[in-house]
Structure 1
Amino acid sequence: MKIEEKKVVGLTYELKVSRDEDDIESAPFSVEIRDKEDPFYFLFGQSGLPEKFEELLAGKNEGEDFSFVLSAQEAYGDADDELIITLPTSQFSGERGFSPEMLDEGNFLPLMDENGYSMQAKILKNLGDQLILDFNHPLVGFDLHFDGKIIEVRPATEEEMQHGHVHGDHGAHD
């Protein structure tokens, strides 16, 4: 079956990232592996992934291998300084489910926006009474190198289309 709109797609892949800095590209290094024990499933056309990622998979068939690179601009773009925010440390108390070690610099805080959607912020600096948080995507500024295999393509159910995500063994459970 071919990857197109209204299809559920299952992939295994290795994601490597690299960065161009001062016209010197870093060697790609592995940041994620999704294997047969933990494949990645998404609803094609509604994945929330970079548009170019889906564009490069469109028309491929179950069983095909893929290999491509998304430039930083095709992926998550450049860092946005407006997404670096200072908040009072008191907002991250034990009563709200945060432990002191969660507030270490470099950690990612699991958060929710005002609509209840999951998000994360990286702690750039803990100033004691304030935290400097970066809400940019963790892969902002990186070129993304994907090497993988399409392990499943199937029609999405009506319920999956209505909800905008995969259900069942490889998706959300209702």
Structure 2
Amino acid sequence: MASISLKQKVCVHYTGSFDDGEVFDTTIGRTPLTYIENNHEVIPGFEAAVSTMEPGDKKKVRLEPKDAYGEPNPALLYQMPTIDIPNYDDLVVGEMIYLMNEEGYQQLARVVKVEDDGMTIFDFNHPMAGCPLNFELELISREPYTGDDQHE
């Protein structure tokens, strides 16, 4: 008896932009995005918008932060004495850098503030937290996911 897949592999082209029109990412001219539905591989609002589409459909959606990367969490701001940071002179406000967490893993953080004689503040929120996001979507395909193939 053949097993029936309850999961679907989708292939979609998209262009993502902010409200001011700045494009932050696109698959146009590249390989479309492929993911498995309900595997939490993409942001919730993106997946919800694509889930109602049929192959060949195109649509535009605007996602509020709660359906994208969420609102900024103040608990994800971290400060430390600038003097304790090696090469702190090289830090640039707004720059994204990797910092080691307490478990020994690297995490991406944005430099928020650097004071020579004070504190340096890092933000571990996703860079698009708090931002509404706009997507132009085109569903290329949706097919049962067998688990045998690799998706990108």
Class of the TM-score when normalised by the shorter of the 2 chains: 0.7 to 0.9
Q: CA deviation at 1:159?
A: 5.5
Q: 1:134 aligns with which of 123, 131, 134?
A: 123
**Distance in 1 between residues matched to 2:99 and 2:130, nearest whole Å:** 22
Q: CA deviation at 1:5?
A: 5.4
- Structure 1 unaligned segments of length 5 or more: list them: 19-26, 95-99, 161-166
Mark the CA change 1:111 to 1:49 in structure 2 (over 3 Å): closer, same or farther.
farther
What residue number does 1:33 align with? 26
Structure whose CA Rg is larger: 2
**Does the aligned pair in 2 maintain the 1:12–1:36 contact within 8 Å?**
no
Deviations 1:31-53 (A, max 9, x none): 22222424322221113433232
Q: CA deviation at 1:122?
A: 0.9
Structure 1 vs Structure 2 CA RMSD: 3.2
- Structure 2 unaligned segments of length 5 or more: list them: none
Q: 1:121 aligns with which of 95, 100, 109?
A: 109
TM-score scaled by length of structure 1 = 0.66
Aligned length: 146
SS at match of 1:120: strand
SS at match of 2:65: coil
What amino acid does structure 2 have at the position aligned with 1:6?
K
SS at match of 2:49: helix
